[in-house]
Amino acid sequence: MITRNYISRQTGEANAQYNTEPACNFFRKRTGKGKRNSIAPRPQKISSRTLNAGSIFWKNILSEESVRHLIEKLRENELNDDLLIPQFAGILADKERFISNVLKYRISVCDQGIGPQDYFKQLETLEILCQLRNALSSDNFELHIQSGYLLDEFSLADVAQNCMNPARNPYLSLIKRDIIPAIMSYSPDVLFLTGRISLFNAAIANIVKSSSLNTHISYTQHSTEYYSISKMLSCILMA
């Protein structure tokens, strides 16, 4: 199963779903040797037949290497008028403290026992990092800690048309680099994509259906049958 997780606030506690973006459940027949394909030397680990793509996504964004790279770019462009805001000045004033806080908060913000004041403080720090990434990036995608990328995913036709376009789907490189190799390596009979149809899930469905795998794909954990996979069969590239 591929699930899309994010940071949210429910009943006064931090939602532990901060494994950040999508995940997949796999069911595989165990008769015979089976066909196992692999297009990557080190596919992502599948635990309990689930691949949490959200964790993979945010692990890259919130890694120490990525944070230091962003701060170095900020330092090189600190005289840019668009970057002259108090939050970014605070980062440059004590970059090691900011880095330390990001690395700590990316874990502690999920603590179910965290108080509201600490929760929003930590959330704000992580959101500042997203704002820094948005200010320095040239891809024109807007990233937020609570919602991921802000994308136009209301029209099924637009999702089907744009899911394989890297200029419209910022997750496409992650999917091809990390998600698809794991699916190919596992070679599931059934693949569950959680949540509503999105650019992320549609891209996975397209690539898997156009591959050599004979995998049935289904959407799950969504409140309406409108998003059943049967609604978009004509939009998916069939192998």
Task: Quote the CA–CA distance of 124 and 122 in Å, as a whole number.
Answer: 5
User: Any idea which of 30-44, 91-105, 163-177, 208-222 has the lowest mean pLDDT?
Assistant: 30-44
- pTM of the shown model: 0.73
Backbone phi, then psi, for 21, in 5-degree steps?
110, -150
Given a cut of 70, whether residue 49 has pLDDT beyond it is yes
Instruction: Identify whether the C-beta of residue 163 lies closer than 8 Å to the C-beta of residue 199.
Output: yes
User: Which positions ≥6 away from 170 have C-beta within 8 Å?
Assistant: 139, 141, 149, 151
What is the model's pLDDT at position 193? 87
